[in-house]
Amino acid sequence: MAPETKPSKTAKKEDIANNNDKSKGSGEDRKSYSEDQCLGVLRIKNCRDFYEVLGVSKDASDEDLKKAYRNLALKFHPDKNFAPGATDAFKAIGNAYAVLSNADKRQQYDQCGHQSPASTGVSSSHHHGGAYARHNRFEANISPEELFNIFFGGRFPTDNISVYTNRASYYQYQTNRRHAAHENRNHGRSTFMALVLLLYMMVLLFMAMMDTNPPYSLSPAMGLVSRATQHRAVPYYVDKDFQKEYHGAALDDLEKTIESDYIKHLQSNCWKEMQHKSVLANRAQLYRDEGLKQKAESMKLYNCEKLNHFFGKQKAK
């Protein structure tokens, strides 16, 4: 095998100069970039494999891959790096991390991803492209922008990394993605309308609370006396003069309101607990964090348990 040749400093400077000349224009909206950014793009362009793209060794751990991707993705993101070729470099970085961070795909890549162009069927004219030339063989079924959003706090992925074996499978994947995007937009509209309705209800509730000061509290406080509703034994707290004003039919009506508020309080807190547990579980899956996974699994849903116990007790009656 012939030894690999690295571009000389003179060649790098010529490439940078050519890139700078191509990027110059009469428009005032051209964005500037530094020589270091151009050198960084050239480095990524001339990498021979995904490990070299991320700047890690072949025995790099998952944590090493995360750190490398975090630094490079922020450095080469098109919103920050305007050097010619930065977008392709960003794609190469995302693709390298997406493949190497998946244990199965990393094993496949290690087995055949470093073979020479002659043995893999890639023509020698593409060999100069380094890691770019392998995108047709090992490409993640997630875009660099989607991976970036997921890694830095966006939505969580619902599919695994796959290797495309032919152009037909790639087109089928793109069709599936467009269909999924359409479904996500419809789901997004429904979610937005639900949030608007919830916000409207919260405003009405807040206005009602501002208009009247309820004669009871669901939480203990200094100077309040503890009581329980007669029908469902829901605990609530009132001042010492409560019985002078509320008794008979007035007390019955008030305690029905108290029980309704108590159920809504438990439902709201139960929903928050389930959301928090779901977020922890998703993060544990994304980052493969066993400690976070155990924390999510052991998390208690206290308000949900109270709610189930409350309705279970009513059924028993």
Tally: H helices and E strands in the chain: 13, 2
Give residue 138's pLDDT. Answer: 65
**CB neighbour list of residue 227: distance below 8 Å, 6 or more residues apart:** 235, 236, 237, 238, 242
Domains of the chain: 32-115+127-165 (1.10.287.110), 214-316 (no CATH)
Closest CA to 66 of 281, 280, 283: 283
pLDDT of residue 269: 92
- Of the chain, the percentage scoring pLDDT greater than 70 comes to 67
The whole-number pLDDT of residue 209 equals: 62
Please give the pLDDT value at position 127.
Answer: 41
What was the pLDDT predicted at 294?
92
Q: What is the pLDDT of residue 169?
A: 47
What pLDDT is attached to residue 165? 39
Predicted local distance difference test score (pLDDT) of residue 119: 36
pLDDT at 238 (0 to 100): 94
Segments in the chain below pLDDT 70:
1-30, 113-141, 153-188, 208-212, 313-317
pLDDT at residue 122, rounded to an integer: 36
